[in-house]
Structure 1
Amino acid sequence: MKLFVRYVLLALGGLAWSCQSPIMAQNMAESDSIAVIASTDSLLAQPAPQKLNLFQKVLKYFNESNEPRPDKKFDFGIIGGPHYSSTTKLGLGIVASGTYRMRHDSLTQLSNVSIYGDATTTGFLLIGVKGNNIFPENKYRIDYDFYLYTFPSDFWGIGYDNGNNNDNKSSYNRLETIVRIDWLARLCNNLYGGITTGFNWVKGSDFTKPALLNGEPREVISTSAGLALTYDSRDFIPNAARGVYFNVRQRFFPRIFGNKHPFTRTAFIFDYYQRAWEGAIIAFDLHGEFNYGDVPWNMLASLGGSTRMRGYYEGRYRDKCLIETQLELRQHIWHRNGIAVWVGAGNVFPSFSRFDWGHTLPNYGIGYRWEFKNRVNLRLDYGFGKKGQSGFLFNINEAF
C-alpha cells in the first residue's frame, strides 16, 4: 500500500478516558400506591444524564471501539487525523475498518473491509478499499484490492545498479489505478482455488530524466487473468495469531486483453503465525514475484512500500524478479497498546541466472500498535534500509 503516514491525533487520548452514566436510585414504599408515588418522585429527583460534549463523545467512541460486538451484523469504525511522513510530508488521512459475517454462524470466518484516503502538501492524493469477503460456511471467498492515487514520485530507473545510484534520482508525476480481485471456491478444508483478475492503468508525466525509461511509453494499461490457489488456516485474517497462509497466482497479460506489452507473472506468498510467550506472536513472511516477457516499466517487481521492506522508497529498486522476506515479533504491552519489531531482506534481479547475493538489501524497524477495533490494529511503523533510507508508515491492520 502506498501510505507513508504518521498517526498523531486522538488515539492515545482514548486510552486514558472513559465515560460512565450516573446510577439512578429507587425508593420503595410499603403500599402499592405509595410505591408508585415514591418511585415517580425518586425518578424526578434524579439529575438528568450528563450530556457529553463533542470531545467527550470522541474519547468515549475510541475508548469503546475495540469492545467485541457479537450481536452486530456489521462492526464498523473510523479514525482520521493529521500526519507527517518523510516521503509525503504533512497530510490529513482517514482510515476505516469493518468486520462482518454474511450469515450469523460460528463456522464462517469473519469477513473484513478497510477503506482509506489520504491527502498531503506534496500533492499526494489516495483513495482505496480492500478486504476479504467470506461466504457462509467458508465455501467461497472474494479477495479484493482497489486504489486510485496521484503522486509526485521519484524514479531511479530499472535494475539494482540504477536503484543503487543516488545520482539517478529523478522525479515525475504519477497517476495510477490498480484493481485486483480473486474469485475463489473451497476445494477442501482450508484450500481454495479459482480465478484471479487484475487491471492497472498508469500515466507518468514531467519526467526530469526521461532517458531512464529506456524509450518505453509513459502511459500503460495492463489487464490480466489467471489462476489462483490459496491455503488459509489463519484464525483471523486482519491480525492472525496462529495459522498458515499460502497463495500462488499465475497471471497472464496477453495482447487479446489490450496489452501492448504481453507478459506473464508468477507470484507467491507464504506466511506463518505462531504464539510465543504471553502476549507475543511471531510472524514470518516470504514473498516472490517473477515476470517473463515484455514487462512495462510500471509493472516490474518493485521493492518497498507499507507491507514489505518498510522504510524503502517503493519502486526505487525494481526489476523483472523479486524475492523478499521478513520476521516480525508482535508483543502486547498494556491494555490496547503493543509494539512490533522486525528484520527482513530483499533482492531484485532480471532472471534467476543473474541473481546476485551481493545485491541483497537489509531491512529492520520498530512499530507501535493500538487496538482500534477488536483485534484490528492501527500501526505506526518506522523502517530502516540501505543508503540511509528510512520512513514512517501509518496503516490499519498488520503488515502481513
Structure 2
Amino acid sequence: MKKILTVFLVLIFTQVLLGQEQKLYKPNQIREFKLVPLPAIGSNPANGWLFGLAPSATWRMGDPENTHLSNIVGNFLYTTKKQWIFSSRSNVFLSEDKWILVGDWRYFITSQPTFGLGSSTPNEPVENPNQPGVLWGEQQMDYSWIRFYETALKKIGDSKFYLGVGYHLDVFSKIENFLDLETPPSELNYSHDFYNSQFGFDQDKYTLSGITFNGVMENRDVAVSPYEKNFALISYKVNPSFLGSDKSSSTLLLDYRHYFNLSEKRKRHLIALWGLGNFLVSGDLPYMNLPSIGYDMFGRSGRGYAQGRFRGESMLYSEAEYRFPLQKNKETFGGTLFFNTSSFGSKMTNEKLLEKINVAYGIGFRVIINKENRTTISADYGFGSKGNSGFYLNVNESF
C-alpha cells in the first residue's frame, strides 16, 4: 500500500511540474484555460448525498480548428453514508489531437451493497435457490479502493482513429461484509466471500494489475457534453500475475456512442445512443472486478439502479436519451428523457447473457453553467424494475 501511494504521489508531483514547465516555457500551447472550483453537492443511490469540492478545468493545447478541449474533473467528497471519495478523471488532447491521454485516479473509503451475480438477483437477502447456503439479495460491504488508470492514444494519420496502450491498477482492501437486518439469515455465506473462495481469491484484499491495448474513434464535438457525431472504444485488457494481479485473466470492453441532431439550428435538440459490452475472456476475476452496472469511467450507466446492483462475468448495456432545450432562444436550461436496458451472465449461477433483461427509465433537468465548454449540471430521476429507483445529481451529461 505504501509503495502504491508513493507512486501515486510521485505521478501527481510530476504532472504538476510538467504543467508548470509548459506554462513557463510554452505559454502559446495552452489556450482558453478555465478553472471552475465548484462546491459539490451530488446524489446517487450508492452514496446518498455527497458534499465537498468538484473542481473542473478545461483548456486547449493547440489551434481550436484542429484541437479538442481538454478537461479534468476532480472530486473531494464526503457522503451521508460516511464515505470518503477522492478522484481525478481527465481527457487531455495534445496539439492537433495527435495524442489523447486518458486518466482515472481514485481513492475511496466507501461502502456499497452487493446482490450476488446475474440479472435475476432479488432486493431482499434470501438463500440463493441455485446455490444452497449462499446469500442472494442485498448484502452490505465496507471497503477501500485504490485505482490508477492511465492510457496514451496516438492518432493514426489524419483520421479520427487512435491506437494506444495503458496501465490499469485496482486494489480493493479492508473488505467487510454484513447484513443490515435485525434478524439476518444464519449460517449463509456472503455472495462476495463464497465467490472468492471458489476461485482462490482472498476475502479481504485483492489486486488487479494489467496492460490494455486500445482502439478509439473520437469524433465528438465536445467530449463532456456532445451535440453531434460519435465515439467508439475497443479495449482488451491483460492482467498477468507477474504485474501484480492475484490471478491472470483478460477482459474485453466495447463502448459505442452516437448523437443524432434533430435540428440544425438547435443542436442541443438531439437523440443520444449508448451501447456497452464488458466480458471476461480468460482466467478469473476477483468479485469486485467483475463487470457491473455503474462502473463505467464516470459511473453513469444504469440510472434507475444503485451502482453495483447487477454483476456478472459478462455484461451488455444499452441506453437511449432524448435531449432538448427548454427555452425558445437560449440554451441555459434543458431536459432529457432516458431509457436503458442491461443484462448479466454468470457461469457460477448458470445464468446466460440476455436470459433476463432489466429495464429502467427516467427524466432529467439540465443547466449549462459555462456555454463555451458546455459545463453542465445534470439532475435525473430514474425508475428501475423490482422497485428500484434513484436520484442522480452530477456534472456534465451522462454520456
Task: Identify the TM-score tier after normalising by the shorter chain.
Answer: 0.7 to 0.9
Instruction: Say if 1:163 and 1:317, in contact at 8 Å, map to a contact too.
Output: no
In the alignment, the residues of structure 1 paired with residue 100 and residue 43 of structure 2 have an alpha-carbon distance, to the nearest angstrom, of: 36
Instruction: Say if 1:172 and 1:204, in contact at 8 Å, map to a contact too.
Output: no
AA in 1 matched with 2:211: A
Identity %: 20
Verify: 1:319 aligned to 2:319, yes or no: no
Per the alignment, residue 262 of structure 2 pairs with 276
Per the alignment, residue 247 of structure 1 pairs with 233
Following superposition, the deviation at residue 381 of structure 1 comes to 1.3
Per the alignment, residue 344 of structure 2 pairs with 348
Verify: 1:286 aligned to 2:275, yes or no: yes
Per the alignment, residue 369 of structure 2 pairs with 372
In the alignment, the residues of structure 1 paired with residue 37 and residue 164 of structure 2 have an alpha-carbon distance, to the nearest angstrom, of: 32
Verify: 1:382 aligned to 2:381, yes or no: yes
Following superposition, the deviation at residue 354 of structure 1 comes to 5.3
Verify: 1:110 aligned to 2:32, yes or no: no
Per the alignment, residue 338 of structure 1 pairs with 334
AA in 1 matched with 2:100: R
Label 1:86 to 1:142 Cα distance change in 2 as closer, same or farther (>3 A). Answer: closer
Give unmatched runs, 5+ long, in structure 2.
1-29, 127-136, 180-188
In the alignment, the residues of structure 1 paired with residue 287 and residue 154 of structure 2 have an alpha-carbon distance, to the nearest angstrom, of: 33
Per the alignment, residue 3 of structure 2 pairs with none
**CA deviation map 1:335-367 (0-9, x unaligned):** 41111111110001036x953534100011111
Please give the secondary structure, in 2, of the residue aligned with 1:137.
Answer: helix
In the alignment, the residues of structure 2 paired with residue 142 and residue 86 of structure 1 have an alpha-carbon distance, to the nearest angstrom, of: 31
In the alignment, the residues of structure 1 paired with residue 366 and residue 258 of structure 2 have an alpha-carbon distance, to the nearest angstrom, of: 20
In the alignment, the residues of structure 1 paired with residue 50 and residue 75 of structure 2 have an alpha-carbon distance, to the nearest angstrom, of: 13
Count of residues in Structure 1 that have an aligned counterpart in Structure 2: 329
Question: Pairwise mapping of residues 63-74 of structure 1 onto structure 2 (< 5 A)?
Answer: 73-74=32-33
Please give the secondary structure, in 1, of the residue aligned with 2:379.
Answer: strand
Structure with higher Rg: it is: 1
Per the alignment, residue 301 of structure 2 pairs with 308
Label 1:148 to 1:248 Cα distance change in 2 as closer, same or farther (>3 A). Answer: same
In the alignment, the residues of structure 1 paired with residue 175 and residue 352 of structure 2 have an alpha-carbon distance, to the nearest angstrom, of: 32
Please give the secondary structure, in 1, of the residue aligned with 2:190.
Answer: helix
Give unmatched runs, 5+ long, in structure 1.
1-70
The two structures, once aligned, show a CA RMSD in angstroms of: 2.1
Please give the secondary structure, in 2, of the residue aligned with 1:387.
Answer: coil
Instruction: Say if 1:163 and 1:318, in contact at 8 Å, map to a contact too.
Output: no
Moved more, 221-230 or 204-213: 204-213
Please give the secondary structure, in 1, of the residue aligned with 2:242.
Answer: helix
TM-score, normalised via structure 2 length: 0.77
In the alignment, the residues of structure 2 paired with residue 326 and residue 354 of structure 1 have an alpha-carbon distance, to the nearest angstrom, of: 22
Per the alignment, residue 144 of structure 2 pairs with 175
Label 1:83 to 1:181 Cα distance change in 2 as closer, same or farther (>3 A). Answer: closer
Instruction: Say if 1:77 and 1:373, in contact at 8 Å, map to a contact too.
Output: no
In the alignment, the residues of structure 2 paired with residue 317 and residue 85 of structure 1 have an alpha-carbon distance, to the nearest angstrom, of: 16
In the alignment, the residues of structure 2 paired with residue 357 and residue 103 of structure 1 have an alpha-carbon distance, to the nearest angstrom, of: 45
**CA deviation map 1:295-334 (0-9, x unaligned):** 1101100113641111211112111110000001111112
Label 1:84 to 1:272 Cα distance change in 2 as closer, same or farther (>3 A). Answer: closer
Label 1:83 to 1:257 Cα distance change in 2 as closer, same or farther (>3 A). Answer: closer
Following superposition, the deviation at residue 166 of structure 1 comes to 4.4
Label 1:235 to 1:83 Cα distance change in 2 as closer, same or farther (>3 A). Answer: closer
1:80 to 17, 24, 39: 39
In the alignment, the residues of structure 2 paired with residue 299 and residue 164 of structure 1 have an alpha-carbon distance, to the nearest angstrom, of: 21
TM-score, normalised via structure 1 length: 0.77
Label 1:86 to 1:140 Cα distance change in 2 as closer, same or farther (>3 A). Answer: closer
Moved more, 194-203 or 95-104: 95-104
AA in 2 matched with 1:396: V
Instruction: Say if 2:89 and 2:105, in contact at 8 Å, map to a contact too.
Output: yes
**CA deviation map 1:25-45 (0-9, x unaligned):** xxxxxxxxxxxxxxxxxxxxx
In the alignment, the residues of structure 2 paired with residue 147 and residue 311 of structure 1 have an alpha-carbon distance, to the nearest angstrom, of: 24
